[in-house]
Amino acid sequence: MELYCSQYYCSVTMLVVIILVLLITMASSSPFTSLIPSSYSSANTTATQSTFMSAVIFPRSFGVGVYFIQIKVGTPPVSQYMVLDTGSDLTWFQCKPCNCFQSPGLVFDPLNSTSLSVVPCDSAPCSHLGCNNNQCQYKVDYMDGSFTQGMLVLEKLTFGGIGVLNVFSGCGHSNHGLVTGADGLLGLGGGPLSLPTQLRLHGLADIFSYCLPQGMVFGSLGWLNFSLPGALLPPGTAWIPLLPNPNTPTFYYVGLLGIGIEDMRLPIPESSFKRTRKGFGGVIIDAGATYTHLPTPVYEVFRNAYVAKTRNLPRFYSVHPVFDTCYNLSGLESSQIPNVSFFFSAGPILTLKRKNILVEQEHSIGTGLLRI
């Protein structure tokens, strides 16, 4: 977890969660039910009866903490490295011809895939999108300024040897931002065009779960499973209920009540984390965001309390524009760093230790600088 504050918003960032497993039950309805074909291929699968398909998650930093998953797109299948994102719906990949950002592999050529078809303008998914030459056009803008724009298509996606035909996807011809080294994005939100919703409508999987790897540690891997009810989870899995919000079905909300440092819960009103009657506010889980944003008053209470708890630690005053609380921790024991806890309306208390709270300053030589 990395804390930072800027002029416009303040944030807490959770970069490493290796023991928390997120299990999500997919949405129960969609206006596109009749458009989802039920055919799929299942050759070369090692999935169990309850786990439909599974794939490996691995960390890629490139200056920001995101998680990648490798899938294959089209027929013949082309490997694509996708950013894992539970905060958006549409799965998309860069397509020729392309005004693209740098990607690790070949840009996908839709003309070479025998399983791709363009979604026509009179289809239900296109009713709220654009149209050009009877081809459904999409554009998605992200909060960090990234965007993707292109054709909405039906295409085959393959995960760990299992292929699913006719998945609504974005064939992005104009893309900006995202992450250097990615080919696209895997949309795991709860909205009607998300991959989990489409798999449920295929009758293939009702839930998905993922476990993130150990930060940017080389060789550390996580997993993403799409399963039917009854799938086995690791022993000791902790459950935190997800809260639905009909106004924004894409997002997965949790009932956060408060934040603590060591054994002290901070004097932050629970109302700071609750949704309003109109559906605004609240706390969501977003695997595609490096930073977990807090309202400025909440961040200031947390930061001031953390600074008070660490007044004996040597401070480092960085000129970095967003990090306002930094330490020089060369040679210090991890036990000297106070833990941070999150209190939920149900389920266990999530306690984060040093490696989840402090991030080593990049390119520092022999200084052991870490920062909040």
Query: In whole angstroms, what is the distance from residue 275 CA to residue 6 CA?
Result: 24
Domain housing 128: 21-227
The reply to whether 186 and 46 lie within a common domain is yes
pLDDT on residue 268: 97
Token pair of 358, please?
Answer: 């402090």
Q: What is the CA radius of gyration of the chain?
A: 22
Q: Residue 254: beta bridge partners?
A: 242, 283
Q: Does 285 lie in the same domain as 193?
A: no
Q: Which of 313, 225, 231 is nearest to 50 (CA)?
A: 231
pLDDT in tens, 122-158: 999 998 899 999 999 999 998 888 899 999 999 999 9
Three-state DSSP class for residue 118: strand
**Pair (222, 245) in one structural domain:** no
Is residue 334 classed exposed, middle or buried when 0-12, 13-18 and 19+ CB atoms within 10 A define those classes?
exposed
Say how far apart CA 143 and CA 289 lie, in whole Å.
10
Specify the CATH number for the domain of residue 113.
Answer: 2.40.70.10
Q: Residue 308: inside a domain, yes or no?
A: yes
Task: List the pLDDT tens digit at each of the 372 positions of the chain.
Answer: 333 222 222 333 332 232 233 444 444 333 333 333 333 333 333 333 355 677 788 666 544 567 889 999 999 999 999 999 999 999 999 999 999 888 777 899 999 999 999 999 999 999 889 999 999 999 999 888 889 999 999 999 999 888 999 999 999 999 988 666 789 999 999 999 999 999 998 888 888 888 888 765 667 788 888 887 665 666 777 788 899 898 899 999 999 999 999 878 999 999 999 998 888 899 999 988 776 678 889 999 999 999 999 888 888 777 666 678 888 877 776 667 899 999 999 988 989 887 777 777 655 544 444 455
* Within a domain: 118: yes
As for how many domains the chain has, the answer is: 2
Residues 6+ apart with CB under 8 A from 150: 92, 95, 137, 138, 170, 171, 172, 173, 174, 175
Among candidate residues 184, 205, 227, the one where a domain is terminated: 227
Q: Does any domain span residue 7? A: no
What SS3 state is found at 365?
A: coil
Rounded to whole angstroms, the Cα distance separating 20 from 349 reads 11
Specify whether 216 is located in the same domain as 261: no
- Please indicate, yes or no, whether residues 313 and 223 belong to a single structural domain of this protein: no
Q: What is the pLDDT of residue 369?
A: 46
Residues 90 and 188 in one domain: yes
Decide: 306 and 261 in contact? Cβ < 8 Å. yes
In a domain, 85, yes or no: yes
Q: Which of 179, 195, 227 is the last residue of a domain?
A: 227
Compute the distance between CA of residue 128 and CA of residue 135 in angstroms, rounded to an integer. Answer: 13
Q: What is the rounded CA–CA span in Å between residue 22 and residue 253?
A: 12
Question: Does any domain span residue 13?
Answer: no
Q: Which position among 89, 206, 286, 324 bears the catalytic label?
A: 286
pTM for this prediction: 0.81
Q: For position 139, what pLDDT does the model report?
A: 96
Q: Is residue 204 located within the same domain as residue 87?
A: yes
**Considering the domain boundaries, does residue 217 fall inside one?**
yes
In this structure, the answer to whether residues 73 and 149 fall within a common structural domain is yes
Asked whether residue 174 falls in the same domain as residue 277, the answer is no
| Residues 332, 215 within the same domain | no
Based on the fold, state whether residues 28 and 121 are members of the same structural domain: yes
What is the predicted pLDDT for the residue at 257? 96
Residue 2 lies in a domain: no
Domain boundary among 177, 205, 227: 227
Q: Do 10 and 297 touch, CB atoms closer than 8 A?
A: no
Do 70 and 38 lie in one domain? The reply is yes
286 counts as catalytic: yes
Q: Rounded to whole angstroms, what are the CA distances from 77 to 157, 164, 187, 194, 262? A: 8, 12, 19, 21, 50
Residue 215 falls inside a structural domain: yes
Catalytic residue, candidates 85, 89, 206, 324: 85
